[in-house]
Structure 1
Amino acid sequence: MKSIADIQRRLLALGYSVGKSDVDGIMGPSTERALIAFKVKNGLQARPFVGPITLEKLFGHQVAGQKPLGTGEARWLTFARRYSGLREIKGKNHAPEILEMWKTLGLLFKDDETPWCAGFVGFVLESSGIASTRSGMARSYEKWGVNLAKAAVGCVVTFKRTGGGHVGFVVGRDAKGNLMVLGGNQADAVNIKPFAVSRATGYWWPKGEPLPEGAIPTVRSDGKLSTNEA
C-alpha cells in the first residue's frame, strides 16, 4: 500500500512540484495539481483520485499484485483501501472506476447513480480471487461465505436501511464502539465511516480464508454515523 508521502516522493522524482513543504504526507492542493498533471500526461482522467491504474503508472506494474507486508491484513481489505476517495461524478458523466466494477461483475448498470456498495464489495472480492455474490443487492451477502458470531477485521458486514441495505468491510471500531466500515456509496464515495452496531444484520467471511488473529483495533472517527448509503 503506497502512502501519500510515497506518492509525493515519486512525483518529486519525476519532476513535479508538490508544494513548498514537499513530502508532508498530506494530499493538499499542490499535491493534487501535481498528480493531475502527471495523470493528464499519462493519458488518465484529470482527477486527484489515486487508484490502481494511477499507482501502476507511478510505480510500475508490480503494484497491482502488491501483498500486505507483515501487517496480517486480509488481501482484499488492502486492495479495497486503494479506492479510498473514489467519488461519483455529478451530472451526465460517470466515474469509469465504478463502471468497471459493474463490468467485472457482469451486471448491466452503466452509471454511478445506481447504489453501488455491493458493486464495490463484489469487485474487491473478485479482484482478490474470491467469488462474490455477483449481485447489485447489498443484502445478497447474507447468504454468502461463513456467518461469523462477531465482527472481524476484513469481514463483510451487511446493514439494514430504509428502502434497502448496505454492505462494506469492517476495519475496526471507534471509541464509542461503532463499527468502522470501508465501503462504497457512503455519501457517494469510497471511505471509512462509523456505523451503529444495531444496524448490522450479520458478519461474513470468505470460505476457505484464514481468520485474522487478535482483537479489532480502535480506529479514529469523527463520531458522525453514516446516514447516506442510497
Structure 2
Amino acid sequence: MSKKEIKAIQKALKAKGFYSGAIDGLCGRLTNRAIIAFKKSIGYRARAYVGPLTKAALFDGRVDMVTAGRTKREKAIAALDEPKWLQVARSYLGLREYKGNRHNPKILEWWLKIRMPFTDDETPWCAGFVGGVLEECGIRSTRSAGARSYLWQNWGLRLSGPCVGAVVVFWRGSKTGSKGHVGFVVGRDQHGNLMVIGGNQGDAVTIRPFSTDRVLSYHWPEDDIPYSGGGFDSLPLVNSDGTLSTNEA
C-alpha cells in the first residue's frame, strides 16, 4: 500500500476508536494492532492485512477513499481482470533451476520469504514459488515447503470450485499420501484440463495442463474478493497441446 493509503486507513481507524497513533502513513506496530482489533470487532480473522472486504467495512462501503492515493500504474494494475499475485506469478514465467552447483537466487529468495532454511533450488519448490509470490504481494502464505500445507492449514477461504487466481492443491503420487503440488489457476484448456501456473513444473515456472481428477482443494486469500464466481466452465480458455504435467519434483 502507498503512504497515502495507509494514512487513509489510519484516519478511518482513529475515527472508529481503534487507533491512537500519529497519521504518518507508516504501517508500524500501533497501526497493525489497530487493524487486528478492528477486524476482530467485525468477526474477521485477526491479522494485519487490509483487503477489499476490510476496506469496505472500514470505509462504510466507500472503498474509493483508500484508493485515492494510488499511482496511475497501481490503478492500471487494479483495473486488470487478474489478481495482483497472478500478475506477479506471470512475471516469473520461464524462470528455471540452475544446473550444476549453482542455484537460482530468486528461488533462494522465495525460501527466505516463507521462512524456510533451504539454500538450494533442488528441493521441490512449488510451495516456495506460491508462498514467495503471495508474500511479495503482502499476503501471508502458509510459510511451509509442503504443497499440501494450503489444505492442511485450511489456508484462506476454501472455494467450492476454481476461479482465476485461486491457489490449487493437487495430490502427487497418491491421493492419500503426503506429496503434492500447488500453483495458481489461470484457466482451462480445450481438452477439459485445468491450466495452472506453478514453480518446479519441469524444473521451471510454466503454465501447464492438469487433470481435475488430481485436485484436492481450491483456496483464495482471506479478506480478498474472488474475481469471479468460480466454476470450471467460467474459466477463460487457454490453448494447450493437452499433455498433462507429470514432472513437479
> Structure 1 counterpart of 2:113, which letter?
T
Q: Deviations over 1:107-143 (max 9, x none)?
A: 1000000000000000011111111000000000012
Give the alignment's TM-score, normalised by structure 2. Answer: 0.65
Give unpaired runs (5+ residues) of structure 2: 1-70
TM-superposed CA distance for 1:65, in Å, is 6.7
> Structure 2 counterpart of 1:160, which letter?
W
Aligned to 2:106: 97
Aligned to 2:63: none
Report SS of the residue matched to 2:77. coil
CA contact (8 A) 1:180 1:194 kept: yes
Aligned to 2:240: 221
Report SS of the residue matched to 1:138. coil
Structure number with bigger Rg: 2
- The residue correspondences of 1:200-211 to structure 2 (distance < 5 A) are 200-211=215-226
Structure 2 residue 121 is the aligned partner of structure 1 residue 112: yes
CA contact (8 A) 1:147 1:205 kept: yes
Aligned to 1:156: 167
Q: 2: distance between equivalents of 1:209 and 1:141?
A: 16
Report SS of the residue matched to 2:79. coil
Count residues with an aligned counterpart. Answer: 169
TM-superposed CA distance for 1:68, in Å, is 2.1
Q: Deviations over 1:49-105 (max 9, x none)?
A: xxxxxxxxxxxxx9x978626322101000110000000001100001101101111
- The residue correspondences of 1:115-154 to structure 2 (distance < 5 A) are 115-142=124-151, 143-154=154-165
CA contact (8 A) 1:72 1:212 kept: yes
CA contact (8 A) 1:67 1:75 kept: no
TM-superposed CA distance for 1:228, in Å, is 0.5
Q: 2: distance between equivalents of 1:123 and 1:67?
A: 23
Identity %: 56
Aligned to 1:86: 95
> Structure 1 counterpart of 2:120, which letter?
D
Aligned to 1:174: 189
Structure 2 residue 198 is the aligned partner of structure 1 residue 183: yes
Give unpaired runs (5+ residues) of structure 1: 1-61
Q: 1: distance between equivalents of 2:116 and 2:137?
A: 18
Report SS of the residue matched to 2:226. coil
Give the alignment's TM-score, normalised by structure 1. Answer: 0.70
Q: Which runs of 4+ in 1 moved over 3 A?
A: 64-67
What value does the CA root-mean-square deviation take over the aligned residues? 1.9
CA contact (8 A) 2:164 2:228 kept: no
